[in-house]
Structure 1
């Protein structure tokens, strides 16, 4: 599945594990305001409307597929990437593979380490809990929402059920099982020596117990022009829970990308 919104510099939107492109659609308004991006929403293989890969189906294979997809769409032209969670790790990988073409990177709650045991994670926290809401939900919906939500209100649930839940329910479980067996990149982007001097912004929730907010700070070693924003009262779906603050960061990043000469 591949949907295009707007026109301008191609921006590839890469979702995380267990969801699909719809989790990133709430960002489209802020991206459209910038007026500089042609937004490419892609379902990775095995998620949303995309068929799973026939081969091993791990992170290396997803990266290969994504590299081929980008090249088939824009050739050797300039582009930017935006990724969430696992999609943030794939963005780091793709930026290295297209070092001479990538113009900017925006990461939302990115995975830095695929192995969860290597991650620095905060304790589970809930900022707001609406008990009446949870009594009105099915057991399945309540569990899926509570698993990641820091702000557990009806408004937050409505956003989650619109943008996140459909991708969760449509994910191919066999593809996810294959991905889990090869959930690594070697070497990790974090551990590579080259630096990319392009506009990079990272947004994390202070209460993100899935990928955390501390590990992304290590990426300053790779990206000298990195801006990191840690948002309070937000978890792994920080852009769902604090949309206005994330939209502000997107607009600021877009301005930095727009100022970058297209000289590559």
Structure 2
């Protein structure tokens, strides 16, 4: 890999002993989408919170090439996903303090993949499936025809398709997701071919990242929105059965009522309380007032 670096927004002063929470946003967004949640966590934890822009999103440049020189790269990943996993693994390894991963949607899928490669203490996923696109071995996902039509639509008319995506993100939620995505999208006209390619490959990575047969030996905590239009409700029942009971011995599943896919935007206080309740005591200060877990 070249000397490319990820843009990282750090919250909380660095300390010698404090744990780190590495946060990964979803497709179509950047690290700003996780700031409401990060502010809640910052006020009530002793964590160093690290908000990362994935390659090609926000202030992180598109990946220069595939994961050149990286080890343990999954050959099933596309160029963007392989480069992104290599960059994230390098970022995690640069600091020896304990690391927890938090990922929303695509970020959650990346976090599950990283948990098999990097040294982490636990994983939190928000509105993330283990396989986004329905496959014969995992039918509890978005219909494959709808997914492939969406990918083709974005390649042909990215702005229009992004608007449609924002509506799906906000469906059933507070409307904050669609507002945030429209504001972000308005600043991107995709005149940069490298950026458009990165977004398209990141969209394709949703189907390439597959955690259905991946043993993970650290705690995995997954949160879902009751009204999510992108991740079907039946996922929770599927994840509560074998083989996950053997592959992920330390796991928990939570559903947030009245929320859609825009979980970290619509309910940051509730999500922060949920995260804090599952962290060791030395990572916590006070519970957010009035938040339920």
Structure-2 residue corresponding to 1:49: 59
1:120 aligns with 2:140: yes
User: Is structure 2 residue 111 aligned with structure 1 residue 70?
Assistant: no
TM-score by length of 1: 0.74
What is the CA–CA distance in structure 1 between the aligned matches of 2:63 and 2:121, rounded to whole Å? 29
Partner of 1:208: 228
What is the TM-score when the length of structure 2 is the normalising length?
0.68
- Equivalent residue in structure 2 for 1:236, among 261, 278, 282: 261
Q: Matched residues in 1 for 2:281 and 2:181: separation?
A: 29
Residue matched to 2:150: none
The structural deviation recorded for 1:168 is 3.8
> C-alpha separation between the residues in 2 aligned to 1:190 and 1:257?
32
Change in Cα spacing, 1:144 to 1:17, as seen in structure 2 (3 Å) is closer
Q: 1:204 deviation in Å?
A: 0.4
SS at match of 2:222: strand
Cα distance per residue 1:210-253 (max 9 Å; x no partner): 12343355254433222211122221112222334323212212
In the alignment, what sits opposite 1:29? 39
Q: How many residues align?
A: 233
Equivalent-residue separation in structure 2 for 1:88 and 1:182 (angstroms): 12
Unpaired stretches in structure 2, ≥5 consecutive residues: 1-6, 67-78, 144-159, 285-293
Higher helix share: 1
Per the alignment, residue 196 of structure 1 pairs with 217
C-alpha distance in 1, partners of 2:283/2:21?
12
Output the aligned Cα RMSD: 3.1
1:28-76 deviation per Cα after TM superposition (whole angstroms, max 9, x unaligned)? 133123322100111011001111012253322221121122223x1x4
Judging changes above 3 Å, is the alpha-carbon distance between structure 1 residues 246 and 79 closer, same or farther for their aligned structure 2 residues?
same
Unaligned ranges ≥5, structure 1: 124-138, 260-264
List, as ranges, runs of 4+ consecutive aligned residues in structure 1 with deviation greater than 6 Å. 139-142
- Compared with structure 1, are the counterparts of its residues 30 and 214 closer, same or farther at alpha carbon in structure 2 (3 Å cutoff)? farther
Distance in 1, matches of 2:202 and 2:166, equals 23
Per the alignment, residue 177 of structure 1 pairs with: 200
Q: Does 1:246 align with 2:283?
A: no
